[in-house]
Structure 1
Amino acid sequence: MKLDTRDNVSVDAVDRPSTPLRRSLGALLGSWEVYLLLLVAALLRLYHINTTEFDGDQADIFYMAHNAVSQGHLVATSNVASIKIFNPPAIIYALMIPAAVSANPVWGSVLTALLAIASVFLTYLLMRRYYGRLAATLASFLYATASVPIFYSRFMWNQNMLLFFVPLLIWFLYRGAVARRTFWLFPSVVLIGLLVQFHASSIVLVVPLLVALVLAPRRTVRWYDFVLSVLGIFFIYAPYIVWLFQTHFQDIFTVLHTAKGETLIDAQALLFYLQFLGPLPAPYTNNLSLLSPYMTAFAWLQPLVVLLVIAGAVLAAVLAVKSRRSEAEVEPRPGFITGIARWWHDLRQSPLRCGLLILLTWQIVPLLYLTRHDIVLHLHYFIMFMPGPFMLVGFFLARAFDWLHARLNSVQVARIVFLTICGLLVCAQFLLSAGYVYDASHGRYVDTTWAGQYYNDLTSLQNVMRQADQLAQQRHLNHVYVSVDQGTRAAFLYLAGQMKTPTTVVDDSCLVLPGIQSGAAILLTAPHSHRLDLVTAYAHASRIATAAHPGGPPFNLYVLRPGSSAGQGQNNSTEELKFMDLKPFNNGQRNVLASRWQMLRSAPAGYRTSYNYTFTNGVAGTGVAPASHACSVSALRSGDQLIVPMGDPAQPPTKMQVTAYTTLPTILSYNFLGAIPLQLDTFRLYDTPKKVLRSQSGLDYIPVTFAKKS
């Protein structure tokens, strides 16, 4: 069975508008490549999707979505962008769909992957509709097997939604400017609004929208399209507009002053664009990779794809610019103005040229815009170009095949060789992407090579929390403590809410241990945690299990049995904490001073809520500046012991000031129409007024004594 490049659904050689698809469903069902395409796209995006990345951003946005569903709230913002503004809430509303089905975050990643698969299929439909079956097959298979788009398809994140909504926008632009149909402007404007919510850089896609608006016939645009567009934008931004008024448009001010240094004009944008055409960059491609010994055999792949994209862009530009009037239709030596007017008229009358101009505008103008930048660029900013490069490649290869078919009609071998080379290109991309997917799902990487913090997959996090829960129930223990660091804090705060056993999440700047009256408990430490030194100094800890953490050291699970709880005098007690002792210990590398406190009140865990204490040292009779040490926990339990590292034991404090406050999420409350109560969640946190804890005798500090290590 062969691919007919002269499919009757494409824009034909004489630039007549493509005819309606009377047999569209039957044509698709009869196309074998569609089934293979969907199989390949699904395999690369859904294979072991339970090992999806689950770090801070992923945990934060799914936590908000789950809370909005469970509490019946609307949402005014999502998480914080890299330029320190609060993102609009579109990603939260999207994730509320899987969150309504299950509290398991894996379904948020499944939604992202399914939309990415739909993006591949949409690419096929778009290319087949306007450029023929062969162009559609080549473009969609190259896109389906490209490593970098696959990487962004396998975890939930705001900008990953662009993979689906950008080609959907292009579909509607083609509907108006190429297919010459109505009902395209309103959905296009709303899609631009959504894209900007997912990532602000998408605002540059207004340019191809304006090009389509200029090229589309007037009959395709109705006056009510503009009214609906305004209403649609207002509807999807209404909660965020409330937030802007509440904050006096601070985010708008920040966006307008995002420069972090001098304006640069460099090739960074082009380099990021080209990265989408090749294998994943380091650290995703590493020495532990399954394909690492064979990477040199694929060195030709990216240069070839780049050359094909350039060839496709050049061909598209030539066809878009060049007028195709016959000699009989051209008047001799028209004036300059007349020539420009005639060229413009011919351009608007040609669906093929209009489509190519939109495609080129989409790929070139944003790239030129980002070439001059005053902010730090990141790879994910360039998701908005997908799948444009592969559409250019598919268009070029299909036209090249047509050229061979017309001039070498009797040389079947040339066409077979051409298709074989195309097949090898797709197969090479598939092998690289399959290798990446296997590496990512089987831990063939080093977790600490990621910038900022180490990498965490959802499966290992869920497994260790489930294991801690089961151990607590099997041993009849009534509490689980989770010591977290920056790499695991957000994830464990969300997953702790799914535990059957009461759980306290503690930042590893300090440690919480059970009091004697509470009995033994389970302690879970993060892979790169260093808090076990405090445990052994104050409690009896026995490691009972480990849990795998792909790419790095394992999680550790301990049974904690509380040690001595002897405290100090009455003057060392406050309404919340009681000072117990201050003593040094050796952590295996150096001597460390730590203070121990007993909690005197209980407070439950809550949505994005933390209870915080700041301990400030004071050394009498010295000029040493006070040092502060902070501790944050997700819940308080009366009788528990709080251990806080204090620094150098050579200068022990003689008094300590303790400040307490609670961090809570900001929730906007309104009465709609004066009768309907509305609550809008936001990502902003606020601190309650800080309270200095006073001793029983009324002092605003706690006198402490230093117990030297025996």
Structure 2
Amino acid sequence: MTFTRVQNFKASQAETSEPAAYKQQASLRSWLLSWEIYLIVLVASFLRLYGIQRTEFDGDQADIFQMAHDAIVRGHLVATSNIASIGIYNPPGTIYFLMVPAAISADPVGGAIFTAILSIASVLLTYFCMRRYFGRLAATISASLYATAALSIFYSRFMWNQNLLFFFVTVLIFLFLEVIFFQRKGWLILAIPLLGLLFQLHGSGILLLAPLIVTVVLAPKTVRIRDIVFGSGLLLLLYLPYILWEFSVSFHDVSVLLTGSQRENVYDNQIWILYQTYLSPFYESFLNLDTVYITFFKWVRVFMTGLIILSLLFALFSGLKALRRQHESPRVWWLKPLQWVKALQSSPEGCALLVLASWQLVMLSEIHHTIKLQLHYLIVFAPGQYLLVGIFLAWLIYWLRQRTGWPRVAMYSLSIFSLLLILVQLVGSTYSVLDAVTGQFNEKDFSHPYYNDLQSMQDALARAEDEARVHRIQHIYVDADRSNFSGFRYLAGQAQIPTIVSNDECVLLPDASRGPIIWLVSPYSAVNEALVTHLTNATLLSVSHRPSGAPFKLYLVQPPVHVGDQPLQLSNGMQYLGSQSIHTAQAQGLLTQWRLEKDRPATTGQFYNYHVTSNELGRDSCKVTSVQSDDQLWTFFPQQPAKFNQLSLRVEMYQSTEQSFSLPGLLSFITFDTFSYQTQRFQKASANQGSLTIPWP
């Protein structure tokens, strides 16, 4: 029994080109008339696009879309993406892809939609390619399982570097299969840069080197030196911006990688646990069902794991069974591997299964690792799991159908089982999506420090602008935190009313002479909210609810007028206004107040840092997107057990600017943006700049 149309293809080659073209058109027409295609695409689209406005919008998502948007506005190229978890700058592939939706709209939801559409295209490509090589039933089962896979859906619903892998991994794998079945030449011209692109999106992409090597071994006649040269040239061109960046920083990222290779070696089963988790029919962080249903879904995951193992064994057995038909033995031992390859090539289906099996089995190389493995590292293996299961189940059904008696009953039972497996995944993934959209999850357990969705942040800023228009206020001040500072920084740049964003380690307010402001406070900024409501005339205007946790709050704040001693002028352009002890339910400690004398304009790719350091109490770091002259800066130190007679304070002011570089000579008009920031003082520091000693309040 065969899964493919290889014989039909070879027969068509013997005919004239016109009948061959006609047959191809007829085949495509029959595929497009297959009802299951539209149902699969409809389900995949619903699960990946429903409620997409609630897409995650934390630091990474805001950073990469900000870079894409800025590159479009400036007309620049890009040399790096954001920083990876291991501390190196990622290559810029992600940014170039996100420049497509950024060129259409500045709304970040476009980036999430773009990511989801690529994932949907991956599902559709899975169906067409599986049908081309393994038949309609295998294509339907594989694409349906992939379309309803909970973790694949989850990672398809927000912007992230590795979330773009779904589409390009599928393209590369089916390029391998095309080579195996039809011995296409020239494929390395595409495969080499495509593998490099996968590595740009995430380091786990290098694992696709395993099926590439297997393809080369099983189709050696398709390998040409010129293809390797051209493919390597395209790879070099793809990495040229990143290489230029590495030259400019003396290959700093390379040294970080080499240092990382010296970390402690770990041998464990962590990769296997994550692999099983990825096969789950639901995402545990979202699903809120009774214990009985949760237990049922977990058993389905265990069963799916067993099915994957059986499918892998079937793929290996089917791929290697051609070796049993080998009768001749080479005279010299070193020719034996060549004889094996020749025997394997007699079965294109078996070779294809070996390529798919190698794709999944390379996972075992991660039993030894030097960094902590994460669940999103498993994206690189999708949709391989579902391809193997689809092929295995289709083979069983076809095999049983050729027999009479009880095998026919078993065939119908297996068909019903396949349908039920798809439906169980559909139910679990649908619940996961609905929970994600409605906020039915613990946001602090799901993301650190907590989860932010784009629509909630946009709604909060839109409501702040509405309140500002109602009260005829010219500026909005946003009290952001580590989780949403990057997001609000980007959204503030698109606001119609000037919006200043500061982190929650300080409070930034205008001078009292400018009148009241609209102050937007983050959900868990309890200390800053307590300080402002305690020390100013603050009126709560509205609450902007978030589906997953505490709301944003909007205040109408009249900044306080400084009364008391004459402000103390510091040599760095700041004034010390005074200090006071605070004792409220939410805030207990020492508050220091400062006046900033100079304007610091809001500029793309730039923000400002103010570090207030106490030898006795530690340091408070304030990050702001812009400053108006005479703005007040409050820093807060939690109460210490010991009391001091006096405090030594030092204030340092820095400007962080995104680094760009241009090519030399006649190419100086070509500029590359990076995610690297250069930090420098506002002015040269003297020995006692910004330092003072005050009595304990």
- The aligned residue for residue 319 of structure 2 is 320
Which residue, out of 58, 62, 66, partners 2:65? 62
- CA drift at 1:645: 1.2
More moved, 465-474 vs 656-665:
656-665
Partner of residue 438, structure 1: 434
Q: What corresponds to 1:642 in structure 2?
A: 633
RMSD value, Cα: 2.8
Residues 1:385 and 2:381 are matched in the alignment? yes
Does the aligned pair in 1 maintain the 2:515–2:559 contact within 8 Å? Answer: yes
Distance 1:587 1:201 in 2: 49
Residue 621 of structure 1 corresponds to none
Residue 546 of structure 1 and its aligned partner are, at CA, apart by 0.5
Check the 8 A contact 2:400/2:408 in 1, yes or no.
Answer: no
Alignment of 1:453-602 (within 5 A): 453-530=449-526, 531-566=528-563, 568-569=565-566, 571-574=568-571, 576-588=573-585, 591-602=588-599
Instruction: Tell me if structure 2 keeps the 8 A contact 1:608–1:664.
Output: yes
How is 1:118-129 mapped onto 2 (pairs within 5 angstroms)?
118-129=121-132
The reply on whether 1:81 has 2:84 as its aligned counterpart is: yes
Q: Is the 8 A contact 2:282 2:425 kept in 1?
A: no
| Deviation of 1:10 (Å) | 5.8
User: Which ranges of structure 1 fall in alignment gaps of 5 or more residues?
Assistant: 619-624
The answer to whether residue 274 in structure 2 is matched with residue 279 in structure 1 is no
Aligned equivalent of 1:687, options 668, 675, 679: 679
- Give the 3 Å change call, closer, same or farther, for CA 339–183 of structure 1 in structure 2: closer
SS of residue matched to 1:315: helix
Out of 38, 50, 66, the residue aligned to residue 41 of structure 2 is 38
Q: Secondary structure at the match of 1:636?
A: coil
CA distance in 2, matches of 1:99, 1:423: 40
Q: Which letter does structure 2 place at the counterpart of 1:662?
A: Q
Following the alignment from structure 1 to structure 2, what is the Cα–Cα distance between the partners of residues 380 and 15?
A: 44
Match of 1:199 in 2: 202
Moved more, 334-343 or 171-180: 334-343
Task: Give the equivalent residue in structure 2 for 1:611.
Answer: 608
Q: Which of the residues 657, 661, 664 maps onto 1:664?
A: 657
Segments ≥4 residues shifted beyond 6 Å: 5-8, 11-20, 333-336, 692-695
CA contact (8 A) 1:507 1:633 kept: yes
With the length of structure 2 as denominator, give the TM-score of the two structures.
0.92
**2:73 & 2:532 partners in 1: Cα distance?**
37
Q: Displacement of 1:101 after TM fit?
A: 0.5
Residue deviations 1:673-693 (CA, integer Å, cap 9, x gap):
524422211111121136577
CA distance in 2, matches of 1:473, 1:652: 48
Residue type of the alignment partner of 1:253: S
The alignment partner of 1:499 has SS state of: coil
1:108 aligns with 2:98: no
Q: Is the partner of 1:84 in helix, strand or coil?
A: coil
The alignment-based identity, stated in percent, is 37
Matches within 5 A, 1:116-515: 116-218=119-221, 220-259=222-261, 261-285=263-287, 289=288, 294-323=293-322, 330=327, 337=333, 341-364=338-361, 366-408=362-404, 413-515=409-511
- Mapped contact 2:4–2:349 kept (Cα < 8 A): no
Inter-partner Cα distance in structure 2 for 1:666 and 1:641: 29
Alpha-carbon distance in structure 2 between the residues aligned to 1:699 and 1:210? 62
Q: Which residue identity is paired with 1:235?
A: L
Report the CA distance shift for 1:297/1:656 in structure 2 as closer, same or farther (over 3 A).
closer
Q: Secondary structure at the match of 2:451?
A: coil
The letter for the 2-side match of 1:660 is: M
The 2-side partners of 1:193 and 1:228 are apart by 14
Q: Structure 2: which amino acid aligns with 1:173?
A: F
C-alpha contact (below 8 Å) 1:538/1:564 kept by paired residues: no
Q: Distance in 2 between matches of 1:461 and 1:517?
A: 30
Please report the TM-score for the alignment, with normalisation by the length of structure 1.
0.91
**Equivalent residue, structure 2, for 1:622:** none
Question: Does the 8 A contact of 2:115 with 2:164 survive in 1?
Answer: yes
Q: Determine the C-alpha separation between the residues in 2 that align with 1:13 and 1:182.
A: 17
Deviations 1:11-55 (A, max 9, x none): 799999999845332022111110111011101111111111111
**How far off its partner does 1:283 sit?**
2.5
Measured in 2, the distance between the counterparts of 1:51 and 1:561 equals: 33
- Measured in 2, the distance between the counterparts of 1:139 and 1:98 equals 30
Aligned length: 686
Q: In 2, distance between residues paired with 1:611 and 1:99?
A: 26
Q: Distance in 2 between matches of 1:21 and 1:652?
A: 89
C-alpha separation in 1, matches of 2:338 and 2:291? 57
Structure (1 or 2) with the greater helix fraction: 2
Separation in 1 of the partners of 2:28 and 2:569?
79
Inter-partner Cα distance in structure 1 for 2:517 and 2:66: 26
